[in-house]
């Protein structure tokens, strides 16, 4: 079967000299395969073409998976670096008051959260003026508050890290920020034997910042460092 259409010599020479350019171009290869199928006619089943289509589909899926794995790896690396920078900044202060100030300032900025609150359970009166001078980061609550807050009063076992969305943020925790906090990470703190637990809350106005589907390993590590840092202030 012949054709009156002749390929230009310059184009023909370019294809012969660089055939890989044609093979690597998906659109050109699809056009060539389609032209080949039309030339064979409608009564012929091209099994090789069907197999190639299936391989192409599988290759596309593999490439998508590869891109997703790479993106997740970069995201995890960025999150690890973020936690490390926050920990280093948290370890700088040598006094408790600057420690709390940094917690609600530079540490919060590094973690990209809109509010940080530290809740300490205490059997003593929380109206101590010295506590109020430490700012709005520190809250003192009665014994049992931490587990009650994490379980919404339902009791039961609570995890070290709880990620969740919030609709009505408690004003006694967030103060004036309560109206726009939409998700939070709650890190339960263990200060050692004979001491009441604490709670570090990271609040965000982004409802998707923290959700139960996210991993908690990095925040669990951050909580472990934080509670060990707090023990020196509590000793």
Residues 118-128 as b/e (b if ≥16 CB within 10 A, e otherwise) read: bbbbbeeeeee
Distance CA 25, CA 4 (A): 26
SS3 of the chain: helix, strand, coil, percent, to 5: 55, 15, 35
Q: Are 107 and 86 in contact (CB under 8 A)?
A: yes
**pLDDT per position as a tens digit, 184-217:** 999 999 998 888 999 999 999 999 999 999 889 9
User: How far apart are the C-alpha atoms of 235 and 195, rounded to whole Å?
Assistant: 10
Q: How many angstroms separate the CA atoms of 168 and 152, rounded?
A: 12
Domains in the chain: boundaries:
94-234
CA distance 174 to 115: 7
Q: Rounded to an integer, what distance in angstroms lies between the CA atom of residue 99 and that of residue 31?
A: 66
pTM of the complete model:
0.68
User: Per-residue pLDDT for the chain (235 aa), expressed as one digit of tens each?
Assistant: 445 556 787 777 877 887 777 777 777 777 777 776 666 665 555 656 666 677 777 777 888 787 877 766 767 777 889 999 999 999 998 888 889 999 999 999 999 999 999 999 987 755 555 555 566 888 888 999 999 999 987 877 888 999 999 988 888 888 888 889 999 999 999 998 888 999 999 999 999 999 999 889 999 999 999 999 988 888 6
CATH of 94-234, one of 3.20.20.80, 3.30.70.640, 3.40.50.300, 3.30.450.40: 3.30.450.40
């Amino acid at each position: 079967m012949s054709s009156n259409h002749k390929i230009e010599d310059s184009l023909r020479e370019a294809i012969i000299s660089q055939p890989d350019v044609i093979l690597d171009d998906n659109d050109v290869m699809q056009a060539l395969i389609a032209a080949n199928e039309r030339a064979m006619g409608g009564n012929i089943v091209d099994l090789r073409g069907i197999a190639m289509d299936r391989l192409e589909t599988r290759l596309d899926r593999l490439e998508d998976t590869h891109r997703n794995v790479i993106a997740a790896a970069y995201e995890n690396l960025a999150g690890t670096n973020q936690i490390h920078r926050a920990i280093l900044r948290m370890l700088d202060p040598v006094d408790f008051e600057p420690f709390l100030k940094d917690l609600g300032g530079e540490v919060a900025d590094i973690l990209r959260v809109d509010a940080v609150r530290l809740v300490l359970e205490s059997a003593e009166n929380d109206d101590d003026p010295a506590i109020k001078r430490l700012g709005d980061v520190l809250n003192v609550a009665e014994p049992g508050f931490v587990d009650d807050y994490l379980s919404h009063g339902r009791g039961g076992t609570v995890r070290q890290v709880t990620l969740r969305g919030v609709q009505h943020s408690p004003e006694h925790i967030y103060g004036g920020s309560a109206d726009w906090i939409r998700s939070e990470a709650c890190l339960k703190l263990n200060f050692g034997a004979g001491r009441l637990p604490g709670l570090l809350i990271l609040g965000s106005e982004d409802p998707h910042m923290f959700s139960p589907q996210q991993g908690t390993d990095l925040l669990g590590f951050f909580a472990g460092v934080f509670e060990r840092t707090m023990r020196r202030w509590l000793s």
